[in-house]
Each structure stands twice: as structure tokens, then as C-alpha cells.
Structure 1
């Protein structure tokens, strides 16, 4: 986000690193009030770092949307366009792909809504309470990414 006097057409919200603070958030809010569009890379509320779970940009995005009375155009997960673009790049259909993720809403259930098989992995930012209160159920749940070959082998056997 540039100087407040600049004419800004779009505010892009990516990750929430250490430089992301009140001043930057308030500048973005000012640009939104003056008519700038809001584009977000994702809606993730938190992520896991070496220091544990920390807030991510989605937590701030919700506040900006509410305060500026606007809705962000989300270009990454959980946007259906994100999954469609990935499938197009891979040359695969949704029935040929699966999404493995540690975020049940933005990774797994969003992929399932796009027609992919959703696999929740109990690592990274996985929290049992988030799993229990989710808006849906994953197709599969594994304890580790290392368990994926067994899951894929079982799926291949079922197709035979």
C-alpha cells in the first residue's frame, strides 16, 4: 500500500508478516474507503510457524471487509477459480485429483466443493476442535503426509 495521497485502484492483501501492522492496515482501509477494490490471496485465519500458531492475513481481511463495507475478490484458496486453474495447469479433471491439506475449510472442503477428493492431514495447523466444528466432512483423514501412499494404494485397489 502506497502513500495515502496516491490514487490507488486496488489493495492486494497477501500474507501477514512482521511488517503487517496497524499503520499498513489503516492505510489499506483508507484506500478502500476511497473506492479501491480489495483482492486477497487467501482467507486463512492463522498459520503454523516455528513459534506456533500465528494470525494470518484472513483475520485482518475479515475486519477490512466489514469496516470498509466491501467484499474481497479471493484469488487463492478457497476460491473455486484457484482449483480450476490448478487442474487446468495439470491437465487433469477434478475426479483425477486430490487435495491434501491441514486446513479443513480452505484446503479440503473447498477442494471438495470444486469436485476434488479432499484429504485432511493431522499435521501443520490442524486442530481437533476445528475439525469437529467444520462445515463438512473430508473424504479422508490421515495422520501424516507419509500415510498418503497407503491411501492412494487403497484407492487404486478399489478402482480395480
Structure 2
């Protein structure tokens, strides 16, 4: 079933690393797979770090990746927005991910696109109300991700999806999702790596954002039991990956036997 795979889209947080440590065996796994000729894009819904910062963080874990191999939700959104020459963008993110939007018209005044990432404690009634009013005046909401929750320091934490849903409900307008699991994100990532969807497998720990999203885009899927993986959540979702492995360290063995 995986014999046609020539490359992988690999999730970062929960798959490549957890909190501040690499998943055991990940560097060796990637080295083996690269030696066999597989291509990689490391995909993430992380919205508070630029691709350059993500590359440095991952490299600090002893995981060799290049900046060009990283495909983040902010980078995908910037590529998508560049297709609209008249785009005036209010980008709401934390950290330095704003640098991935260089070249676009960025403004808080009269935007026609509002790009929303995970602001964590930066979300406030005043900010959400400002966004709501601009949506009501005609702006389009672009969600970098709609994740329900994420795992940090061993605990589940509410994610940006709840705030996106609140804005959708109040404004009566559906957000354009650019991060996982949207078809836009996976189509852009597939184009970036230069392979066909059927030649790619998505490796991740999130049954909805990683596995379901990739399946709907025509990719093969491999679910790992690290990160936010919970057996009861997988069973409830009713989504069947092409393969289930303990961690990404087991990926070379899986591919050798495919």
C-alpha cells in the first residue's frame, strides 16, 4: 500500500519532537530514509515561529532539516494570499512568523483579509470584537489553523480553533482554513515538494489535522502513537490510517516491509 511513496510530509510537534526533546531515534530514522532517496517536508500548524526559527529549534534537538524543507501554516497562507494582488492583510500572530508574510500589504486599517493564528493569552474581548467588526464590514477571515487543543508540558491546552469558531458564529461567515487539515494546505505542500499526492505519505499524531486532512487530499497516511495520540480519540473519529506505528523511529522498518 505504501510501495509508491517517494516522500513524506511529517508533522513537527508530537511527531518529530515533544515539548523540548526529539522523539527517540528520529535523527537516525530520517538519515536512513534520506539515504534511500525519500524527500521530506516538515509541516506544522505552529503560527508563532518563522520557518527560520523553526529550523533552528529543530536543529537544536539534533534533527537535521533545512529551512526550505519546513512548510508552516503562516508560509502556506502567505503563498495563498500572494495570489490576490489586492490583498490588504491584518496578520494576528505571535513571535516572528510575521516575517513569512514579507512582500504582502500588511495593515490594520481597512483590511480585506484577517489572518488569525494562535495568540494564546493575547486573545481578548477587545481584540476579538475588533476582528468581528472588520469581518462584519466585509473582511475575510483566514485561519492558520483550527485545532481544538494541543499538548504542552504534559497537559492538553485549548487551541486557536475555539476562537475561530467564536468569530465564525458571531459574524455568520466561515473562515478560510489554510493550515492543516485544509485541502489548500496540503495542495500547497504537495506542490512545494514536487511530487504527486499518491507519491506522498503524511506522518502525524493528530487523527483529524494530519490523517483525515491528508486522506482527503489523496495522500497515504501513517499515524504515530506519540504526542497527542489517544486510542479512544482515534476510535471515536472512525478514521483509518494506512499504517499505525509506535513512533517515527519505526518508519524505516515500515517502509522496508511495504
Same fold (TM over 0.5): yes
Contact 1:105–1:135, Cα closer than 8 Å, also in 2:
no
**How many residues are treated as equivalent by the alignment?**
153
Note if 1:150 corresponds to 2:150: no
Note if 1:97 corresponds to 2:200: yes
**Equivalent-residue separation in structure 2 for 1:54 and 1:7 (angstroms):** 33
Q: Within 5 Å, give how 1:68-147 maps onto structure 2.
A: 68-147=171-250
Unaligned segments of structure 1, at least 5 residues? 156-160
**TM-score (structure 1 length as normaliser):** 0.86
Shift of 1:135: 4.4
Higher relative contact order (CA 8 A, sep 6+): 2
Q: SS of the residue aligned with 2:229?
A: coil
**Equivalent-residue separation in structure 2 for 1:52 and 1:110 (angstroms):** 24
Note if 1:18 corresponds to 2:121: yes
TM-aligned CA distance change 1:54 to 1:84, over 3 Å? same
Q: SS of the residue aligned with 2:133?
A: helix
Q: Within 5 Å, give how 1:28-107 maps onto structure 2.
A: 28-50=131-153, 52-107=155-210
Query: Stretches of 4+ moved more than 3 A in 1?
Result: none
**Equivalent-residue separation in structure 2 for 1:27 and 1:49 (angstroms):** 29
Q: SS of the residue aligned with 1:100?
A: strand
Shift of 1:75: 1.2
Q: SS of the residue aligned with 1:44?
A: coil
Q: SS of the residue aligned with 2:122?
A: coil
CA RMSD of aligned residues (A): 1.9
Deviates more, 1:37-46 or 1:129-138: 129-138
**Equivalent-residue separation in structure 2 for 1:57 and 1:14 (angstroms):** 7
**Equivalent-residue separation in structure 1 for 2:155 and 2:246 (angstroms):** 19
Unaligned segments of structure 2, at least 5 residues? 1-89, 92-107
